[in-house]
Structures are given as structure tokens and as C-alpha cells.
Amino acid sequence: MIIKLRVRIESIDITTVEPDEPPTDEPPVDDPPVDVPSGDIKIGVFGAFTGVDATWAVAPRNAAKLAVKQHNAKNPDVPVTLLEWDTEGKDDVAVQIANEWAADPAVLGVLGGLDSSETAVAIPIFDAAAIAMVSPSASRTDLTTLSTKGIFHRIISNEQVQGRAVGRYLTDVLLATAISVLDDGSQYGSALADEVANTAPRLVRSRVQPGAPNYNALCNRLKQDPPDVVFYSGDIGVAPQLLKDMVQILGPTTFVGGDRAPDATLPTRAGGYADGALLVSPCVPAPTSGDFAAAYDSEYQAMPGPYAAEGYDATNVLLDAIAAGKRTRADVLAFVKTYEHGGLTKTIRFDATGELVPSELASWLFKVNGTQLVPDRPLTTI
């Protein structure tokens, strides 16, 4: 297929231009939209598919692949190519791929980003190209403010919503009066911890170093005035060692982890020390039965994990636009902004900022039960 571009060429007589001619006040003229032929349509998904974040980022990527495969089977005349890019959790890689996809007129939408940091650096690039983004997992609160054209949308609750929900749970349900709030110093970790800390009646605020051989010094300080609850948000790799040191030094202590912690491999990686740990997530429990679970299991020989159902729903927002005949970036973006449809996880409908409407916001609490990560309860978000 050949993508036809309508190009406007202006001739300029350079002999008539004065050297000091002041600029005009006329606004720039946007390039004309590109109508992508049905056989050439692409959407992209980018995230950390290797490394520590792969424990949760692979699930929504796999769900996106499944959604595209099903779309292509149902719509053989309008096949969609899914572009995948492993950022390895590096912002500079996210910038690279954002520039490449923005320069390819056949890319009509992007799933993601999956991580908040890489999403933040990619948004201005996709914004300039008016490419719709639908994220299943990027929760940093300010992401919806980084676009001038309103391209960024997410189908989960942001950190502010999550933090307030966790804070209410700690104080109203667990009746905690002393809370230790920990983070890893990252923008994500500290922002979510700040929201939780704002609700704590008495707290000790501490910072941990990802990759440290142990957290004995921190746990010994906490032992001097033991908290009712320890809340941690940040690098998921910290959790196994932190849990081990807490159990060995503090004894039985309620541990609540932020939204990167809900990972089916955590109980094993923590060597049994995670039993009873509570993990907060903006994603709903992944289906264990029904068509999606069966199709996912057939495709990957595994049941869908956290963020898989959200990845499937987010991808289908873009695929529904294409199935509806949208062939330009502008038309896809307009379709996404007014989207309203029941998905696996919720009815997906966005407000003017790209957040879910309040009635569809959700946060869930998961619990480590032996070697399993099981849903515990929904948290009040409104």
C-alpha cells in the first residue's frame, strides 16, 4: 500500500524579503491530516518488557497482542499491526521510540506508556503529533496535564486517588494510629507516599535505597517505636528484602505495598516472608474464567495477571476507533475522547482531562496468602 500525503508547497521570492522584516502574527498552518489506508494501520505499545518491571509490564503487553489478534481475525479487511518496543525502563529509549512512531504517519494510536516516567517524557512528542495515548497502568497524577491537545488517557485511578483510598483504609479499617511511610525517592514512589502520609495521624517518614543489600538499619530504627503499619511505594525490587528484614527484626507487622507491588512472583521472591502482606493496586482482579481468561491462557499458557485486563481494555479503545472507520490521528483522538463502552474491568468513559469519570475509578487491595496473591477487597475511592 502507498500512503498518500497532500503536501502544500509555497514559493518564496527571496529578493523581496527585507532583512529586518518583523514576523507576522498569523498562526502557523497545521499539516493536513493523513488518511491511512486500511491495510497499513499501526498502533504501538511501549514499556519495560525486560528487567524488574517486566514482572507486571509484560501482562498488559500480552493482552494488547491478544486484542489485536482477535481484531484482525474479526476484521480481515482492516488489519492492525502492533508495534512493540522494550524501553528497559529507560526514559531516553522511550523518547527514541516516541520520535520514531510520531514520524510514521501510519501510527494512529499508542497503548501506554506502561510506566509513568517513560510516559511523561513521551507525552510531549506524541502530543505534537496528535497521537492518542491510552494507558492501562501509568498512574502519576500530573500526566494528564502534560498534553496541550488532550491526547493522554488512562483507565486506572491516579496516585492521588489511590493514596487517599489507602489512607482511609489504614485509619478507618485497620485503625492504625502510627504509620511508617517509606518510599524509594523516585517521583512515583514519593508522590504516592505523600498522599498516604497526608492521612496518617502519626507517622515516621523514611527513604529506602533500591538495591541495598539489606534494610536492617531502617528496621532497627522502627523497632524503637514500632508502627502499626508500614506502607512502602517505589521500586518493586525493594519489597522482598524489605519484607524479610521487617519480619526478622520487627516481628509481625502489617505491610502495605503501593501499586507496583501486586506481582504474582512476590511471594516466591520474598521466600515466604511476604505471607499476609497487603498490596494496593489501581487494577481490578484479573478474570480467572470467561472468554478473556481462556483466550489468554491458550495464547500464553498462563492466567492473566495484574494489569492484563486493563491492557486488553485500553487496546480495544484504539481498536474500536479503527473498526469504526477512523483513519487519521485526529479522528482517532476525537473518538477516544468521547468513548463510552463496557470493558472487562469497567465502563470506560473519560472526563475532559483524560481521567476516568469518578464513578468508574477503582482501587483494590490484594493479599499474599502463602504462595498466592489473592484479591482481598475494593477500596473506597470517592
Domains and CATH numbers, the chain: 38-157+286-350 (3.40.50.2300), 160-281+364-379 (3.40.50.2300)
Q: Residue 33: exposed, middle, or buried by beta-carbon count in 10 A (0-12, 13-18, 19+)?
A: middle
Output the pLDDT for position 187: 81
pLDDT digits over 196-248, tens only? 888 776 778 899 998 899 999 999 999 999 999 999 998 878 889 999 999 99
Output the pLDDT for position 262: 61
Output the pLDDT for position 19: 40
Residue 18 has pLDDT above 50, yes or no: no
Q: Please answer whether residues 207 and 242 qualify as being in contact, where contact means their C-beta atoms are separated by less than 8 angstroms.
A: no
Q: What pLDDT band is residue 266 in, cutting at 50, 70 and 90? A: confident
- Strand pairing category for 42-47 and 81-86: parallel
Output the pLDDT for position 33: 65
Q: What pLDDT band is residue 24 in, cutting at 50, 70 and 90? A: very low
Can you say whether the dihedral through the CA atoms of 278, 197, 55, 111 is positive or negative? positive
Residue 27 has pLDDT above 90, yes or no: no
Contacts of 222 (CB under 8 A, 6+ apart): 180, 204, 206, 230, 250
- Mean pLDDT value across residues 371-381: 84
- Mean pLDDT value across residues 341-346: 95
Share of the chain above pLDDT 70, in %: 88
Interhelix angle 187-197/159-168, rounded to 10 degrees, is 40
pTM of the model: 0.85
> Which residue carries 503501593 as its cell?
258
Output the pLDDT for position 260: 66
- Mean pLDDT value across residues 171-191: 89
- Mean pLDDT value across residues 109-120: 93
Encoded amino acid at 133, one letter: M
Can you say whether the dihedral through the CA atoms of 81, 304, 243, 229 is positive or negative? positive
Q: How far apart are CA 265 and CA 248, in angstroms?
A: 21
- Mean pLDDT value across residues 78-91: 95
Based on C-alpha coordinates, what's the Rg of the chain?
A: 23
Mean pLDDT estimate for the chain: 87
Select from 243, 256, 263 the least CA-distant residue to 169.
256
Q: Please answer whether residues 174 and 228 qualify as being in contact, where contact means their C-beta atoms are separated by less than 8 angstroms.
A: yes
- Mean pLDDT value across residues 245-263: 86
Q: What pLDDT band is residue 290 in, cutting at 50, 70 and 90? A: very high
